[in-house]
Structure 1
């Protein structure tokens, strides 16, 4: 063998067998962050918005997380909000099934999402109290006290940021929720809970974490990927204005965005319903303690992943009860009910149901302003709770107000500017409205708060004392179910 070749091979062998701590050798420590978001109460697999089935669910995510934990001893686990609203199991347990599952899986923290507030602040408080891990949400106040400064009750668990030490490295986590909440949720549901500018909160938290001498800063934000910022997702402006952030883990917009960069911040988002589970790897130089590598990706939770046996067993009774409720018969449709057009028979059906519900509450209305959520026609046959969930996917509450004919016309004109809206006025002919006369009109709580800033005139009108706006303690889905229960056969 050539002498130079022999020297090369022996040198290479010595290099390969040398300990990592040898002089001049730099070593890396990688810390993994696992994340879920927008689970919306989904324990078991569900389907995508495009109709692809048998994907997602927390039980599948738990299997992937269990595998990752074995591979990566230095890890943390977080959820980025909208935890429990969206399934019968979540609804029946007031979110407890999801929080208990988080506790069992050993989550290190979670963020409040906007749908946490759909059932009122008391349910939020109960969920926080039940949580064994911190709830990291900084841009909120309770009775004018910021998260981290609240002295009494379950909301003392709210933290604007936390520091977790892993493998000798200190990582700061900042939690933020969407500033869109006041444009969706009624003040009667929020009570003393308020949301303020996430940029202001982030700036404060990053400054405070600087004094904690952290090695990296990760933002967990219930604000998601959009091509351009909007009122509910101001990520680009936020990351542009506040420096010192290494990673942004998002939610809310139901997008699978494994990795993108904005203002040199690595951003990632893991879809909805647990359809994708997310992971971020942070690699630190052990000598300089600097963050030298950031990687992010998501994994599709399809049938490659079995359901985690612990989550399946611990939720078995709740899931079975939810399935029984899902199949509960509410009534029968004798002939096809068309849902086509703004004045469709289906739209008339749900509006009639709302008026009947209000009457039972001794609240009499002359009209309803509502849409149909783009539902397909209702076929004849027996109908169940599951059908009602498809017709009315959200727990919006009924709202009653007394407004003038002129104001009704303004609201209708405003709604027409939204090309996706099929809202219409039921029970009254717009041509017959008297400008100064007040009419009792029913809305849903979402629309009454502006429908996500699409109906700002409506919001302003209902805020006027003369409108006598009041929340009716019945959600719109319950109203439709009640109507079927009263009539059974619906035409």
Structure 2
């Protein structure tokens, strides 16, 4: 993209100093001038409950974790005390320790470490409104997210614990006023069901940002920073990440601290806004430096960079002491053996295994189904040998629920055609031609009855369109004749129960 810029400081330069900014030499002559003042903002994003090191999407291990980020942040704070510390959302979903504590262990760490603010991310809603409210109740630092409506009331006017969530705030740092404005991705309703969101709606982020900027200007901030749980995409804007369009329509923002898309993008420009994003799981830790002229109070320079959190960084002892009991408990849970696979399960058969497990769980719950429509989260086979809870977390990394709908043959053909074969419709056999014609459609060895309605199970993510990939599916399920019914069955637990019951497969 032609609006990206090269990070202001090479990784070699700042790593040579333990990841710290090298002061006047790096910021140029203006920083050495006594008339200049630098305010720093340290940021994490998309931690997803990762406290200790983990692996990245390329299979490289021993990276990231909040405990390493804190080691770097403490170094920065010691050298540059005129600073803010914030998180850009998706705080706790993604690990057993996050799930076991309802996210509160992460909020406790934010409190202990003196985070100034955090923004809500879409995955912070995955476990329902009650968990979100528990996190808000536990938080001692500000929660900044503007484009939400709770029970019909917009952020800033909501009642109860939601009073803690503000669209913006101004922080006094080193004699300068830094405005923080929060935005969450507008993709929420395309991933999470109304039952999960529980009366929380997402509003247009552009309109919300414009309103917040108009309001915050009355407080005369010296700089405005957006904490946006939406982020960089190589293909440009999409429905969930309208960054360029947002800053084409709204002026007055100096910096965007981005998240959501799990990219390490240290520095790029969107219109006149400096943007930066610190990847995911704490694998990178981010920093922005804002330089002001003391006399005029004008912002005269902006710099952004990220630091890779690898084995050069120790685990912060305070973080580890707080999290130790819950980490130990989660570790024991993950080691529990569930079953033994006698033979390898080919990649093409993994989807059917999931579907069988979900159908069995629904049957136990008193909601029998004729079929299941579901995909996998990878293209790898399941190897033979013993399988543990940790293996199931690898197979099903998200906490999706299951729902049912009664659909006819035409509906099912439409859904399979839209999906383009990425998911399994079990136990149906279906083959579509290149022109979309139905070449084969059988149910348990018999031709599908065009007049019958089949009860089919879907996960809640796909039912909400799977991030706009399955819009026809979402539309079909929402029809009154489809009789959509939410259940209390969760996909990961269903698979674990199924494997435990089987013992050997």
TM-score by length of 1: 0.92
Cα distance in 2 for residues equivalent to 1:473 and 1:68: 46
Q: Which residue number in structure 2 is paired with residue 165 of structure 1?
A: 172
Structure 1's consecutive aligned runs of 4 or more residues displaced over 6 angstroms after TM superposition are none
Counterpart mapping for 1:26-425 below 5 A:
27-151=35-159, 153-227=160-234, 228-340=236-348, 344=349, 346-416=350-420, 422-425=422-425
1:120 CA displacement = 0.8
1:454 match: secondary structure: coil
Cα distance in 2 for residues equivalent to 1:402 and 1:339: 29
**Any unmatched runs of 5+ in structure 2?**
1-32, 431-440, 442-446
**Any unmatched runs of 5+ in structure 1?**
1-24
1:26 CA displacement = 5.9
Cα distance in 1 for residues equivalent to 2:126 and 2:483: 22
2:99 match: secondary structure: helix
Deviations 1:376-421 (A, max 9, x none): 11122111000100111111111111111111111111111xxxx6
Cα distance in 1 for residues equivalent to 2:450 and 2:110: 54
2:257 match: secondary structure: strand
Cα distance in 2 for residues equivalent to 1:380 and 1:245: 54
Cα distance in 2 for residues equivalent to 1:385 and 1:439: 32
1:288 CA displacement = 0.2
Q: What is the aligned length?
A: 457
Cα distance in 2 for residues equivalent to 1:390 and 1:436: 40
1:111 CA displacement = 0.7
Cα distance in 2 for residues equivalent to 1:201 and 1:326: 42
Q: Are the equivalent residues in 2 in contact too, given 1:26–1:287 (CA < 8 A)?
A: no
* RMSD (Å), alpha carbons: 1.1
Rg larger in 1 or in 2?
1
1:375 CA displacement = 4.1
1:489 match: secondary structure: coil
Cα distance in 2 for residues equivalent to 1:338 and 1:37: 36
Cα distance in 2 for residues equivalent to 1:199 and 1:217: 15
1:61 match: secondary structure: helix
